[in-house]
Amino acid sequence: MYEDQTPEVIEKRILRRMDKSIDKREGSIAYDATMPAAIEFMLLYTAIDFFYKNTFGDTADREHLIERAKERGLEPYEATNAIVIMESHPEMCVLPIGSRYSVDDMNYRVTSRLTADGNRYLAVCETPGIVGNKTYGRAVPIQYVEGLTYAEIVEVERPGEDEEDTEAFRQRYLKSFQTQAYGGNIADYQEKVGSMQGIGGVKVYPVWNGGGTVKVVFSTSENKAPDQQLVSEVQEALDPVPYAQNGVGIAPIGHRVTVEAAGESAINIGLNIKFLGTDDFESCTDDIKETIQTYFDELNAGWQDTEVVTTNKYENRGIVVRISQIESRLLDRPYVSDISHTTLNGEEENIELQNTDLATIGTITDISGDKT
């Protein structure tokens, strides 16, 4: 804001205010005496500019944004530790509770056994963040475990999350002025459920099955469909089934809450691509799939934001998968010369998914032979 207030500009302004009879040429007493003051004034302008930017939520740096948000009772979500499922081999080998294992550069600690006589265990990553979200990997025991041939991670039970990004926190802070989260309204459910570990997008359907009923649908922090275990935990936190509508959980008294997992809608994609050089569909399939998956990941990350709020209506809409987006992204790949007649589920039309569904890739097919 004050970038133009340099020492030279400030000094010229000071000198102009002096009497014309005073020598103001470079090297004069007036000139030499005002330059140090001009530098100090420039530093004051810099301080004012810093203060001004950090006064407002949309321009504040992270440190001052956190201080500003405290006035709204908001703080950045802290990083959480991933919880994975680990298997022991042979199956009869029992992993001691508290035993530690190394997977690549991460360490995991066994916290519980899933079944009394099974070989599957829950283990928590000792390092918080998404780095612990390993879906597979050989686990090397840090201390000796008698009878163990090997252990391995087979599944992520609860994704770990990084500390909330500054821009995501900024948007959450600014959004708090638009809709006040209070007493079981939509924003209240979204805020409370969204703050739970492993949860990403949240959609809320009020009065979906009569008065007092609320349906909460959510995705994981990795923008995927959650498993039944996580759904049950959210249900227990919001409105435990044996005590429904009694205010035992987070939900207000009188609310009967039903918690469901976001669905997944598989989309079959037909591509008519002209390739450059010696590239063909078979050799480029993996990169094509990765490119489309990146687009789908972006769509799923914005799943919660497909809601529409007007002055007298709240409406949840579905993700729209657009052919133009798929084609434009593939056109940026170095092996694509041209692309046309892309189909989604057999039709050359965009697809709007059910409002509770996330987009997933079904099949990717070369249809160039069908398009002449």
Q: Is the separation of the CB atoms in 138 and 108 below 8 Å?
A: no
Average pLDDT over residues 60-72: 92
CA distance 109 to 116: 18
Nearest to 95, CA basis, from 71, 119, 74: 119
pLDDT band at 243 (very low <50, low <70, confident <90, very high): low
- Burial profile 59-76: b = 16 or more Cβ within 10 angstroms, e = fewer: ebeeebbbebbeeeebeb
How confident is the prediction for the chain on average, in pLDDT? 89
Percent share of the chain, pLDDT over 70? 95
Q: How many helices (H) and strands (E) does the chain have?
A: 8, 16
pLDDT of res. 370: 66
CA distance 272 to 362: 17
pLDDT of res. 332: 95
* pLDDT tens-digit series, residues 197-224: 889 999 999 989 998 899 999 999 989 9
- Single pTM value for the model: 0.72
pLDDT of res. 181: 67
pLDDT band at 346 (very low <50, low <70, confident <90, very high): very high
| Cβ neighbours for 95, distance < 8 A, ≥ 6 positions apart | 86, 88, 110, 113, 121, 145, 148, 151
Tokens of 109: 């600690």
Percent share of the chain, pLDDT over 90? 57
Q: Is the pLDDT of residue 1 over 80?
A: no
Q: Would you call 34 helix, strand, or coil by DSSP?
A: helix
CA neighbours closer than 13 Å in the CB half-sphere of residue 189: 27
pLDDT band at 16 (very low <50, low <70, confident <90, very high): confident
pLDDT of res. 365: 95
Q: Is the pLDDT of residue 311 over 60?
A: no
Q: Is the separation of the CB atoms in 347 and 268 below 8 Å?
A: no
Q: What is the DSSP string of 57-83?
A: TTT--HHHHHHHHGGGT--PPPP---E
Which stretches of 142-198 are assigned E, i.e. beta strand? 150-158
pLDDT of res. 312: 62
CA distance 85 to 124: 9
pLDDT band at 310 (very low <50, low <70, confident <90, very high): low
Cis peptide before 90 (omega within 30 of 0): yes
Tokens of 70: 């405290």
DSSP annotation of 159:
-
Question: What percent of the residues of the chain are helix, what percent strand, and what percent coil, each to the nearest 5?
Answer: 30, 30, 40
314 or 292: which leads in pLDDT: 292
- Burial profile 108-123: b = 16 or more Cβ within 10 angstroms, e = fewer: bbbeebeeeeebbbbb
pLDDT of res. 301: 92
- Burial profile 18-53: b = 16 or more Cβ within 10 angstroms, e = fewer: eeeeeebeeeeebbeebbeebeebbeebeeeeeeee
Q: Which own/partner contact pairs does 171-175 have at CB distance under 8 Å and 24+ positions apart?
A: 172/74, 173/57, 173/65, 173/68, 173/69, 173/72, 173/74, 174/57, 174/58
Instruction: Map out the domains of the chain as residue ranges.
Output: 7-72, 83-158, 179-261, 264-370
Range scoring the smallest mean pLDDT among 11-20, 88-97, 332-341: 11-20
pLDDT band at 33 (very low <50, low <70, confident <90, very high): confident
